[in-house]
Structure 1
Amino acid sequence: MTDRTLLSRLTAEADLDGVQQLVVGGVVQHDGKVLLLQRPEGDFMGSIVELPSGKVEAGESLDAALIREVREETGLDVTAVRDYLGSFDYVGGSGRRSRQFNFAVEVRVPEPIELREHDAYTWTALVEDPPVTDAVKDVLSTYREVVNT
Structure 2
Amino acid sequence: MARAAARGQQHEHERGTGRRTAGDALRTVGRVALGGALAFAGTSHLTFAREEFTAQVPESIPFPEDPVVLASGVVEIALGAALVAAPRRYRPAVGWVAAAFFVAVFPGNISQYLTRTDAFGLDTDAKRLARLPFQAVLVAGSLWSTGAWRAWRARRRG
Pick the structure with more helix per residue: 2
Structures share a fold, TM > 0.5?
A: no
Superposition TM-score tier, normalisation by shorter sequence: under 0.3
Q: TM-score normalized by structure 2?
A: 0.24
Pick the structure with more strand per residue: 1
Whose Rg is larger?
2
